[in-house]
Amino acid sequence: MEIIVCVKHVPETAEAEIAIDSSGKGIKTEDLVFDINEWDDYAVEEAVLIKEKLGGRVTIVTVGSEDADKTLRKCLAKGADRAIRLTDKAFDGSDAYATAKILYGVIKDLPFDLILTGTQAGDDGYAQVGVILAGFLGIPHATMVKKIELMEGFTRVNRELEGGLEQVMEVGTPALLAVQTGINEPRYVSIMGIRKARQKELKVLGLNDLGLKEEEVGESGSWITVEEMFIPPVEKEAEILVGGLDAISSKIVETLRARGLI
């Protein structure tokens, strides 16, 4: 099995304070911690699980700056075999469409039976790259995948639908599957493991290596241009209860009683 997994190195923002940068089109990232995109972590785990069962090779591909090597090394430590980082000044400002083109630039020449991606990235949340990439490659895809069964010539997947329902589909292989969180339980990787993974191959390629033209990528090669980034206006703000745990609890109980909920 030749499996390719596309991953992204993203800032973690769940608990962080977010501020807009001076360009007004991005956020300040100096104080943020970056890690593998949550959805991609599941994709890598799934690839490694398949490899552990069927044998083969897992190749990780990312578009990103040198900092993204951290995420690549983590993937290698999890059990991937080699990694490729695509980087170039010209890639700056790429949206999902341009990013998919960059990935296509390298993947078109690689052997694969299966490509896995996350359904979306936690930063920009486009949920497009995988499907567009599949379109370029001319292979079928499925998104929101919660279960993968590999058969001869096809794969049977469960796609997550709204309301807790799933849709079972059969997709011809080679295929691109964009996985949903919860499909497996990503393993812990030790720092020693990450250090050892330094011995594994990590290749860095740029615009010219991919045979792409500058105008095909970056902002000029994108469908979407960010005009402005802003902290959303507060529509409704909760009344924050204060005064210590006892006072807060009393206030809640009072409110519930007034509404006949107790």
Partner 1 sequence: MAMEELAAIKKLDFNMCMQCGKCTGSCPVSPKSKLNPRRFMLETAYLISPLTMHPPLNIQEKGELWDCTTCSTCSYRCPREVKPMDVLIGLRSLLVEAGNVPSTLGDALEGVYKYGNPWGLSRSKRQEWTQDLKVKYASEEEKIDLLYFVGCAASYDSRAQVVARAIVKNLNALSIDFSILGNKETCCGNEIISLGEKGLFEEIAGNNLALFDRYGVQKIVTTSPHCFHAFKSRYGRELAVKHYTQYFADLIDEEKIRFSGKIGKVVTYQDPCFLGKHNDIYDEPRKIIESIPGLRFEELGRSGKRSVCCEGGGGRMWYDIPGERLAEDRVREALDVGAEIIVVACPFCLLTFDDAIKTSGNEERIQVKDIMELVAETL
Partner 2 sequence: MTELFVLAEHRRGELRDVTFEMLTKGRELIARADVDLTAVLLGHNVKELAIRLADQVKKVLVVDDARLKDFNEVAYQKVLTHLISERKPVLILIGHTSFGIDLAPSLATKLNVPLATDCIDINFEEKKPIVVRQVYGGKVNIKASLRTSESYIVTLRPATIEAKEVKPIGGEIIEVASPLKEEPTTKRFIEYFEPPAGEVDITAADVLVSVGRGIKDADSMPIVEKLAEALGGAVACSRPIVDKGWLSADRQVGTSGKTVKPKLYLAVGISGAFQHVSGMKNSELVIAINRDAKAPIFRAADFGVVEDLFKVVPILTDRVLQEKKSSK
Q: Which amino acid is at 104?
A: Y
Our CB check for partner 1 shows the closer of 33 and 247 to be: 33
Given partner 1, ligand FAD, partner 2, none, residue 151, with its beta carbon under 5 to 8 Å by kind, binds: none
Q: Binders of ligand FAD among 2-31, rule CB under 6 A?
A: 14-15
DSSP tag of 112: -
Our CB check for partner 2 shows the closer of 97 and 204 to be: 97
Rounded Cα distance, 149 and 68, in Å: 31
Q: Provide, rounded to whole angstroms, the least separation between the CB of residue 218 and ligand FAD.
A: 27
Binding mask 165-194 for partner 1 (x = CB under 8 A): --------------------x-xxxxxxxx
Q: Provide, rounded to whole angstroms, the least separation between the CB of residue 224 and partner 2.
A: 5
Q: Binders of partner 2 among 3-32, rule CB under 8 A?
A: 11, 13-15, 17-18, 20, 25, 27
Given ligand FAD, partner 1, partner 2, none, residue 78, with its beta carbon under 5 to 8 Å by kind, binds: partner 1
Rounded Cα distance, 64 and 87, in Å: 6
**Binding-site residue total for partner 2 (CB under 8 A)?**
83
Rounded Cα distance, 223 and 213, in Å: 16
Binding mask 89-108 for ligand FAD (x = CB under 6 A): --------------------
Of the candidate residues 1, 49, 131, 204, the single one contacting partner 2 (CB under 8 A): 131
User: Is there binding between residue 228 and partner 1 (CB under 8 A)?
Assistant: no
CB proximity list for 131: less than 8 A, separation 6 or greater? 141, 143, 176, 178
- CA 118 vs. chain centroid, Å, equals 5
Of the candidate residues 70, 93, 97, 189, the single one contacting partner 2 (CB under 8 A): 97
Of the candidate residues 37, 120, 158, 184, the single one contacting ligand FAD (CB under 6 A): 120
- What letters, b where the CB count within 10 A reaches 16 and e where it falls short, cover 19-40? eeeeeeeeeebeeeebbbbbbb
Rounded Cα distance, 136 and 216, in Å: 14
Q: Which amino acid is at 111?
A: P
**Binding-site residue total for partner 1 (CB under 8 A)?**
18
Rounded Cα distance, 215 and 5, in Å: 26
> Phi first, then psi: what are they for 7, rounded to 5°?
-130, 165
Degrees, nearest 5: CA angle 196-200-201: 155
- Footprint of ligand FAD on this chain (CB under 6 A)? 14-15, 119-120
